[in-house]
Amino acid sequence: MAEKIVKIADSVTVGELAETLGLSVTTLIGELFKNGIAATINQRLDFDTAQIVVEELGLDVQLERKQTTSTDAPLRHVHQLTDKAVARPPIVAVMGHVDHGKTSLLDAILDKKTAEGEAGGITQHISAYQAERNGRVITLLDTPGHEAFAALRQHGAVLTDVVIIVVAADDGVKPQTVEAIRFARSANAKIVVAINKIDKDTANPQLVKTQLASEHGLNPEEWGGDTVMVAVSAKTGQNLDKLLDMVLLVADMEDLRADVDTPAEGLVIEAHMETGRGAVVGLLVEHGQLKPSHYLVAGTAYGRVRTMLDFRGKAMKLAGPSTPVNVTGFKELPQFGDSFVIAKNEKEARQMAAKAKLEQERRAATTNVTGADILKMMNQKHDAQEFNVIIKADVQGSLTSVIDSLKLIETNGEVELRVIGHGVGNISENDIHLATGENTVIYGFNVDLPPAVKRLASREKVEVRLYRVIYELLDDAKLSMENLLAPEVVETEIGALKVKGVFRTMREEVIAGGEMMRGKVSKGLLARLKRKGEQIAEVEVSSVQRQQQEAKEVFEGEMCGLSLKTAKKIVVEEGDELEFFTRELVKKTL
């Protein structure tokens, strides 16, 4: 039992923790370095990390959390469908290579006349629309870039049901086409290929199909495969109705459902400021019904819905599942990818947003790596990290090939791949339950993820990755293993200064001046304070001045003044040396 009980907050700086424990900052930072953590005196650590540091140092101290008054539940949650869930419109992302006619295709479907090439048209704005076909609604997402959809996925949003990949019949598969295919597969979305520009004399739809089938595993239905491909012309309108029919057919097989009689929730897909209107926020409703006067919370932003407009700018009184809507009333702009929920009143909305802001600040203050990353890295010095995988394939031969290939991935002893389950057939609920441990991924090769299993995976936060090309699956596994490797700490010398005078010494700041002996100095660099060759402390340069003017950089032979951040009061003397350097974590590769 520890003799001394020390209470700390959920988040403390390295300097604060060192002072609380009665240690020098150098000792504490040194211990973190041993475990692969590039720490500075102002970097924040979470409680669990601080606790492990204490154990690593063998201190006779027991850490306890300071009590907080917040008992609120976290804003984000996973919606569980009720037995009253109803069918909802499919959400369809339209993706493709630049100039393959993605925007023109959408304009033609929506009967718009705004497309002037990829630089203009509808990709500049809300990017969410709705089309009707035989009385049924389809929600269309025009992608401003694949990076934007990657951000959506990082926020835990898997709202895309179908991806229309637009490929020009006269140009074939291009890099962004391949990116679109990868996105669709990683998002577990169904793929429909629109082979556009068939009105051109140089169009060759058959060549496009051959490329997709032979190089990317997308086999057309007419060739015995399972990928719907429709030859269309955005210019003439040929086969656009057939394309929408195929999208609805593919979506129907997914049994898409949502709850209606529940408070609205969904995702922020666009946000900007407009003169006279304030914050205009594009939302995509996932469940429930959104109405004017509802109080909304999205991340750190909140407000009361003043107006609701559809994608054509018409006023709306209600927005249900799969519906895009532009709202005004937010007091500030939420972030792209934030989830939104309904609050009971303004007080609750304000409290929820304030809590989210505190959490955001706490996480942002932990620089370089998160608390979870720190814990992971500190544990890596004892045992190799394990990357656990479950493999499902369409046939036994494919299953054996995938498993054997995975085992051939070379490792360096720091990470190991373990196949904890495998089988033939679609991914099942049992697979999801088996994969709930840390660092576990389910790989599906030429198999499907049924809707019910997909929902379970989302609730359990289990990663499921589907592939049609074995090399892409292997690349994914190798990258995932590399992400588990402890990074190397790399320090780069930048310059050195001889202290000529000390002008002010405070608890957490020293103002000193001197002459640059070599290299250069700039704001933000770390520095070792040395006296007669021995390191006294480590500090951070918070500002640089030359001739009493703020300077970006000062070089060898020049005089300058420095403001130095310190964890606690230190003594700087004339004749001391400051060695400036950077410290960073460099990712290892296999």
101 marked as binding residue? yes
End-to-end CA distance of the chain: 42
Residues whose CB falls within 8 Å of the CB of residue 433, separated by 6 or more in sequence, listed in order: 460
98 marked as binding residue? yes
Tell how strand 91-96 and strand 162-168 pair up.
parallel
Question: What's phi and psi for 202, nearest 5 deg?
Answer: -90, 10
Extract the tokens encoding 414: 């720091």
511 marked as binding residue? no
CB atoms within 10 A of CB 344: 9
99 marked as binding residue? yes
100 marked as binding residue? yes
Alpha-carbon distance 118 to 94, whole Å? Answer: 13
The closest of 509, 507, 498, 506 to 564, measured between CA atoms, is 509
The closest of 378, 375, 411, 405 to 393, measured between CA atoms, is 405
Tell how strand 257-258 and strand 463-467 pair up.
unpaired
379 marked as binding residue? no
300 marked as binding residue? no
What sign results for the dihedral spanned by CA atoms 298, 304, 305, 307?
Answer: negative
Q: What angle do CA 142, 148, 151 make, to 5 degrees?
A: 135
Q: How far is CA 540 from CA 518, 567, 584, in A?
A: 18, 10, 14
Question: What's phi and psi for 402, nearest 5 deg?
Answer: -65, -50
Alpha-carbon distance 419 to 442, whole Å? Answer: 10
Asked whether the beta carbons of 223 and 185 are under 8 A apart, the reply is no
The closest of 64, 12, 63, 21 to 41, measured between CA atoms, is 12
Q: What angle do CA 512, 517, 523 make, to 5 degrees?
A: 50
Q: Kindly provide the residue ranges of all beta strands, DSSP E only, lying in 379-449, ordered along the sequence.
A: 385-393, 415-424, 440-445
Alpha-helical regions (H) of 10-120: 14-21, 25-34, 47-57, 102-109
Extract the tokens encoding 114: 């705004």
155 marked as binding residue? no
144 marked as binding residue? yes
239 marked as binding residue? no
568 marked as binding residue? no
97 marked as binding residue? yes
96 marked as binding residue? yes
Q: Which residues carry a binding-site annotation?
A: 96-103, 142-146, 196-199
Q: Which residues carry a binding-site annotation for GTP?
A: 96-103, 142-146, 196-199
